[in-house]
Amino acid sequence: MERRVTRSAAHTALAGDISPAQGPSTKEPQSKGAKASKPVSVRTATVTHAGPKSSLKKTRAVTIPKPLGSDELPHNLGSLPVPTATKEISIAGSDKENNPIKQENVEKFAVELQDTVDRATTKIEDSKPQTTPTQKPKKNTYGLTPGTSPFSEWNQPSAEECEEVNRLLSTIHGEIKAPTTIPEPSLTVTGCGEVPSVLDALIRTLLSGATTGANSARAFNGLVQRFGILTEGIGKGSVNWEAVRQATVKDVFEAIKSGGLADIKSKNLKGILDIVHEDNQTRRNDLLNKPKPENETENEKSYEIACADQNVLSLNHMHTLTSEQAMTELVRYPGIGPKTAACVILFCLQRPCFAVDTHIFRLTKWLGWVPPRANEVTAFSHLEVRIPDHLKYSLHQLLIRHGKNCSRCRAITGSSSAGWEDGCVIDHLVARTGKRKGAVGVAVKAKVNGKGNRQTTGKRKKQESEDEESESLSDIDSELSGLSDD
């Protein structure tokens, strides 16, 4: 006779790890009301229902939910290690006292559990974003190809044309020769990089972009007043650039806000200093662990290592680079384009390099030295190839002076401008274009006062000066228009 199994019997059997077809469990019976010694999961049982159709057997899955967290760590950290049974213990004062459970080696389990947590914690920490410099070096090198003009078909200027313009401008602006030594740094005058420190020269030139000399001097002096000067040791006489690097962008902005474009320049200045610091430490490690570069002396190597050890930011290793290498290195920095880099190479490194600013770009276009489609970057690449090295310093200076002072060659001028009648020493060589350039009668209508007199010379000069400044700021060279890049 087949044994009748009820639902309650089936559940009892499952709880005791026996099937309904088996006899009573051989395990020690638990006391009344005792709980299972371990969590249970899903099991199945074959249940035969008694009744009129008792000949039919039905197999029914009985699911007993596994308690949450019985063998899983929280937050998807994985499963607990499978314990290895070592001995049986009884817990006094509980139902488990009558139902011994298997206990793993406690110390081994603790180590395995801690290892699981450590690995999970490490994975979470590794996923956090790492601290990076304010700005990374630019990938854009402006497409410069040293020694190659982007306008190979444009044969101007010839060496003879350069000599002639240099001679004519020297008759009114004086003869200009490159200095044999670099003057000591000034705390009030920024200049165009004529200081011993390459980093000082770079930042002074950066501050002088798209503003007047007076404004850039005020901005530089703001850095001096806020962050101080190194008064002894390596870097003596230079601004404490490490203090500037560690300052906030807001502090740097406040220091240079009188110089114009302070919001952009402060970010780029900080970015430059972060990259210089990182490069200095990398070069230090290389100099200690690798053979000394052939183009460096032992003194230069020792100087670089000392600067890095004392956190004195420096770019003086560029004195050992070629002009092409220095240009490639300098234009990596945020806010630094060919004009600024060329000024540092020309005035600080004292190498032949023809920097092109807004005045030079205007005059070389009028002279026909660059094609109409040129911009300031491509004009630099072309003129760097075409102008003889021995004229690059003097022509750079002379064209700037002439572009600022000649009544006919300023940014915005015309036949009615004050001083137009004084003429121009290169008038027969230029074809002026742009606002108020050209034949008589194209000038702006003069203002007339109540007595019928023309506007006074002083007022006209003031208006022309304002017009020139407006055009100069709107005709900023390409590196300044891209100051916020990268």
Look up the CATH number of the domain holding residue 280.
1.10.340.30
- Pairing type for strands 87-89 and 101-103 reads antiparallel
The answer on 345 and 200 residing in a single domain is yes
Neighbours of 144 (CB within 10 A): 18
pLDDT tens-digit profile of 114-123? 666 666 554 4
Cis peptide, bond prior to residue 137, ω within 30 of zero: no
The answer on 214 and 171 residing in a single domain is no
Which of 41-50, 182-191, 466-475 is predicted least confidently? 466-475
On the question of pLDDT at 25 being above 60, the answer is no
Which of 238-247, 295-304, 351-360 is predicted least confidently? 295-304
The answer on 387 and 373 residing in a single domain is yes
CATH code, domain carrying 146: 1.10.1670.10
Q: Name residues whose C-beta falls within 8 Å of residue 327's C-beta, 6 or more positions apart in sequence.
A: 144, 146, 338, 341, 342, 345, 353
The pLDDT value given to residue 167: 98
The pLDDT value given to residue 146: 79
The answer on 261 and 152 residing in a single domain is no
The pLDDT of 374-381, averaged and rounded, is 94
Q: Is residue 18 part of a domain?
A: no
Q: What DSSP designation does 317 have?
A: G
* Total domains present in the chain: 2
CA dist., res. 29 & res. 7, Å (int): 20
The answer on 359 and 345 residing in a single domain is no
Instruction: Show the tokens assigned to 86.
Output: 């070592």
Angle between the 262-289 and 298-309 helix axes, to the nearest 10 degrees? Answer: 120
Q: How far is the CA of 226 from the CAs of 15, 170, 252, in angstroms?
A: 79, 41, 9
Which comes out higher in pLDDT, residue 3 or 250? Answer: 250
CA dist., res. 439 & res. 437, Å (int): 7
The answer on 371 and 325 residing in a single domain is no
Assign 3 a pLDDT band (cuts: 50, 70, 90): low
At which residue do the structure tokens 């002279």 appear?
367
User: Taking the C-alpha atoms of 106, 108, 111 and 115 in order, what is their torsion angle to the nearest 10 degrees?
Assistant: -130
Dihedrals φ, ψ of 259, to 5°? -95, -5
Q: Where a domain ends, among 415, 432, 449?
A: 432
The pLDDT value given to residue 234: 80
Which of 189-203, 297-311, 355-369 is predicted least confidently? 189-203
On the question of pLDDT at 283 being above 60, the answer is yes
On the question of pLDDT at 245 being above 90, the answer is yes
The pLDDT value given to residue 434: 79
For 158-187, b/e burial (b = at least 16 CB within 10 A) is eeebbeebbebbeeebeeeeeeeebeebee
Dihedrals φ, ψ of 454, to 5°? -70, 160
Q: Where a domain ends, among 307, 334, 349?
A: 349
The answer on 209 and 300 residing in a single domain is yes
Q: Is residue 97 part of a domain?
A: no
The pLDDT value given to residue 149: 93
On the question of pLDDT at 315 being above 90, the answer is yes
Q: Where a domain ends, among 349, 375, 408?
A: 349
* First vs last C-alpha separation in the chain: 89
Instruction: Show the tokens assigned to 18.
Output: 């026996």
pLDDT tens-digit profile of 60-94? 554 444 444 444 544 344 454 554 444 444 444 44
CA dist., res. 340 & res. 202, Å (int): 7
- In one-letter notation, the amino acid at residue 348 is C
The pLDDT value given to residue 111: 63
Which comes out higher in pLDDT, residue 2 or 177? Answer: 177
Q: Which helix (H) or strand (E) holds 63?
A: strand 57-63
Instruction: Show the tokens assigned to 382.
Output: 């072309």
Assign 181 a pLDDT band (cuts: 50, 70, 90): confident
Q: Is residue 172 part of a domain?
A: yes
The answer on 158 and 243 residing in a single domain is no
The pLDDT value given to residue 191: 43
CA atoms within 13 A on the CB side of 407: 15
Cα 345 to chain centroid distance, Å, stands at 23
Dihedrals φ, ψ of 129, to 5°? -65, 140
For 7-36, b/e burial (b = at least 16 CB within 10 A) is eeebeebbeeebebeeeeeeeeebeeeeee
The pLDDT of 190-211, averaged and rounded, is 78
The pLDDT value given to residue 190: 43
The pLDDT value given to residue 368: 97
The answer on 240 and 364 residing in a single domain is no
The pLDDT value given to residue 77: 40
The pLDDT of 333-359, averaged and rounded, is 93
The pLDDT value given to residue 294: 77
pLDDT tens-digit profile of 428-478? 999 998 776 654 433 333 333 333 333 444 544 554 444 444 444 434 334
Domain coverage including residue 226 = 185-349
Q: With contact defined as beta carbons under 8 Å apart, do 256 and 222 qualify?
A: yes
DSSP per position, 190-204:
-TTS-SS-HHHHHHH
Beta bridge partners of 43: 62
Q: Is residue 159 part of a domain?
A: yes
